[in-house]
Structure formats: C-alpha cells, structure tokens
C-alpha cells in the first residue's frame, strides 16, 4: 500500500482554501477522511475484536449495502494494490461488480478474480476458498457488528458487557439453544471469542469459513458503515467459536453432495432447489480453476 503524499502549504485566502481542498480525490474520499478511517483501523488491529467507532461517511452505495467495507478498502488502497470483490463468493454478483468498479474507477488500480493476484479482497458473506497469506488483507462487509444483539437491545448495557467481558448471558443463550433444539442453531455469523477477550460477530460468513480465521496468516478487517464501527482480527490470533467443550462446533454438512460443475466436496456448496437438487461451489473463481486444471 502506498500513501498519497501531497505537498501541504498553508492557505492564506479563502480562494486558496477552496482550491487546496477540491483537487481530484484518490479513492473517492478526501485524505483527511481516509486518514481518520485508517486511525480507527489501527485501533482495531491493536485491540483484536473490539468494535472501534468511526466517522462513517456516506458512500455511493447505500447503507447496508457495503458502505463500511468500501470505506475500509478505500482507506487501505494504494496505487500498487489489486482488488478482488465477491458477494456470496461470486465475483460476478451485481453488488460485487458495483463495488469493484467504484474502487477501480476512483483509483485506477487492477482488478482480479484470482486470490493469488489480489492484495485486497473485499467480501460479503464468504471467505475465499483459496489460502491467503501475509500479502492479503481480507475486508468483510458487516451488516450487524454486535454479536450480542440477539440477547440485549440497550446500547449502554451492551457496552458494559463488552467492557467487563461479562458474556454470561451469551453462554446462557447457547445453553438454552442446545436444550431446546438439541443442537446449537446459530447458522451464519457464528459468535467467536477473539484473542480470549472479545466476542465478535463474524458477519454472516458460514460456519464453514470460521476455522479459517483462527491463527490466519492474513489480516481480516471488518467494516460496518451503517453502524459506524470497524473491528479487526490480526494475523496469528486465536479465534474460537463459542461452544461447550462436549458440544463440537459443526460446519455446514452437505451429506456428500458434490459440485455439479467441478465435482468438489471440499468447498462450501450452495444448492439449486428443485426436482433434482443440484449443488455448486459458492466460490465461483475457485470452482472455475478446478475445472481448468
């Protein structure tokens, strides 16, 4: 990532003040805004799992549609980056396309569908199947950053619970879930304990992807634009899905189904319901590579 270094001279007239501030912006946002977001991200990296408030700007995409992920990407991007954007694992999803072109149009950087070519990967609801390493930053779009939202509504009480690491009501809700249903029924966005301190909302990524976060080589940044918070899981951090020691954490099972395109059973599959159920890889780029090699 390279940083913009524009020369700064103090303006002495209002005309100069205006001229100074209306030069072409790199990556949609002005430098001051990007700096603010990066400062918030640094806080987040220093306190893994802690939700850092930030002055979230309105973006050309609506709140709830990736404005946070986009701000994180735009704050991190430099002219030598290459960006991959996926939604549900698909580079061609219309929202992913829209976000990707906003990034490339405002920066001129390269775009790619291949993980190994990318440096920034912005994603909604999936971690790419390919391994990522120290050269990657994964940026996840977050609809609801608060993992305890289901058990508490009051903002002040939520702040207290996190600050005192008082997660007892979360454990009670897991106990009740197991008692009532026989299994823990949390589907996506499974709550995890990060660095043995904060419980985080892992965004609606499937349980399938959760183990990839634990001791990862890559940095994961979480952007919640509407709720105006960012958080981070730095590389080589412990990420433990909350469960009882005698109730194993279960990823999604597909009962032996395989991808109808590439034959894989090693990737997260999504189904086309119908008379003959057919499954395919959610990660379209990965699937395509399996077929081509």
Q: Which of positions 102-121 make contact with another protein (CB under 8 A)?
A: none
Rounded least distance, CB 135 to another protein, Å: 26
Q: Which of 68, 69, 143, 223 binds another protein (CB under 8 A)?
A: 143
Q: What is residue 206's DSSP assignment?
A: B
* Residues 6 or more apart in contact with residue 242 via CB below 8 angstroms: 170, 171, 174, 190, 191, 192, 193, 199
Q: Which of 49, 69, 89, 241 binds another protein (CB under 8 A)?
A: 89
In the residue annotation, 49 being an active-site residue is answered as yes
Interacting span for another protein (CB under 8 A) from 47-55, 128-136, 211-219, 256-264 = 47-55
Matching residue, tokens 């309105």: 58
What distance in Å separates the CA atoms of residue 84 and residue 113, rounded to the nearest whole number? 6
278 bridge partner residues: 272
Residue 127, both tokens:
């971690």
For residue 119, the SS3 value is: coil
Write out the two tokens for 266.
Answer: 């090693």
- Judged by CB under 8 A, the residue of 112, 188, 278, 290 near another protein is 188
Question: Which tokens hold the place of 134?
Answer: 């120290």
Min dist CB 45 to another protein, Å, is 20
Interface stretch with another protein, choices 41-49, 170-178, 193-201, 214-222 (CB under 8 A): 170-178
Position 64 contacts another protein (CB under 8 A): yes
Task: Quote the least distance from Cβ 83 to another protein, whole Å.
Answer: 15
Dihedral, CA atoms, 192, 194, 197, 202, nearest 10 degrees?
Answer: -50
User: Among residues 66, 68, 89, 281, which one is catalytic?
Assistant: 281
Smallest gap from residue 194 Cβ to another protein (A): 17
- Residues annotated as part of the active site: 49, 259, 262, 281, 287
């Amino acid at each position: 990532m390279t940083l913009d270094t524009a020369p700064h001279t103090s303006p002495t007239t209002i005309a100069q003040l205006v001229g100074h501030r209306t030069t072409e912006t790199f990556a949609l946002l002005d430098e001051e805004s990007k700096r603010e977001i990066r400062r918030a991200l640094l806080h987040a990296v220093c306190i893994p799992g802690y939700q850092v408030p930030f002055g979230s700007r309105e973006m050309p995409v609506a709140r709830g549609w990736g404005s946070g992920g986009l701000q994180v990407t735009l704050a991190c991007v430099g002219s030598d980056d290459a960006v991959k954007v996926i939604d549900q694992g698909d580079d061609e999803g219309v929202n992913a396309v829209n976000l990707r072109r906003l990034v490339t149009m405002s920066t001129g950087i390269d775009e790619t569908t291949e993980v190994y070519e990318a440096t920034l990967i912005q994603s909604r609801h999936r971690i790419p199947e390919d391994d990522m390493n120290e050269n990657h930053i994964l940026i996840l779009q977050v609809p609801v950053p608060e993992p305890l939202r289901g058990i508490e509504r009051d903002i002040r009480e939520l702040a207290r619970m996190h600050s005192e690491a008082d997660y007892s009501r979360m454990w009670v809700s897991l106990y009740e879930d197991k008692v009532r249903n026989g299994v823990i029924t949390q589907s996506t966005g499974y709550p995890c304990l990060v660095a043995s301190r904060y419980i985080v909302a892992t965004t609606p990524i499937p349980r399938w992807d959760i183990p990839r976060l634990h001791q990862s080589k890559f940095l994961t940044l979480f952007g919640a634009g509407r709720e105006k918070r960012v958080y981070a899981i730095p590389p080589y951090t412990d990420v433990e899905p909350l469960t009882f020691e005698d109730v194993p954490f279960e990823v999604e099972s597909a009962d032996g189904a395989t991808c109808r395109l590439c034959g894989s059973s090693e990737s997260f599959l999504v189904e086309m319901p119908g008379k003959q159920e057919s499954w395919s890889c959610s990660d379209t780029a990965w699937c395509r590579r399996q077929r081509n090699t």
